[in-house]
Amino acid sequence: MSGIEAVRMTCPTCGQANRVPTARLGEGPKCAVCGTTLLDGTVAELDATTHDKVTLNDGLPVLVDYWAPWCGPCRMMAPEFAKAAKMLAPRMRLMKLNTEDHPDVSSRVGIRGIPALILYRNGREIARLAGARPAADIVAFARQHAGLTPPSTA
């Protein structure tokens, strides 16, 4: 792939690092190892290991929803987060981490209340947003802080 611009994307299923040419991001790239679609506008569930690989190594912006099954606002926001994932693909991936199953991760990243959204890019936290939000607010927050322009409607 010499001379071809590519972005690194971690598979949320198997944790494999994949290099995807940026020109092909909209074509539904798949993991070279397990075949999982890497960028299809759906929300992927992370475990502690894949969370760290995705947030530290991926070149594409990643918005992570820190949530728990007992949290009413988290459950209310889940369909809105899914809508936002479809709206932001293929320029950003949206993922979620269950803080009840992975308290070590939520403690390490400083989650004080849920739902909490953290936007990562190139191994760095870019911005945070607390509380349940509608899809439009999630998309506006993500675009603003990741420097993404809305798609052309022409």
What residues act catalytically?
Answer: 71, 74
Helix, coil or strand: residue 7: strand
What does residue 41 show for φ and ψ, rounded to 5 degrees?
80, 15
Q: Residues 56, 26: contact at Cβ < 8 Å?
A: no
What does residue 118 show for φ and ψ, rounded to 5 degrees?
-125, 130
* Measured CA distances, 109 to 8, 17, 94, 106, 133 (Å): 22, 22, 17, 5, 20
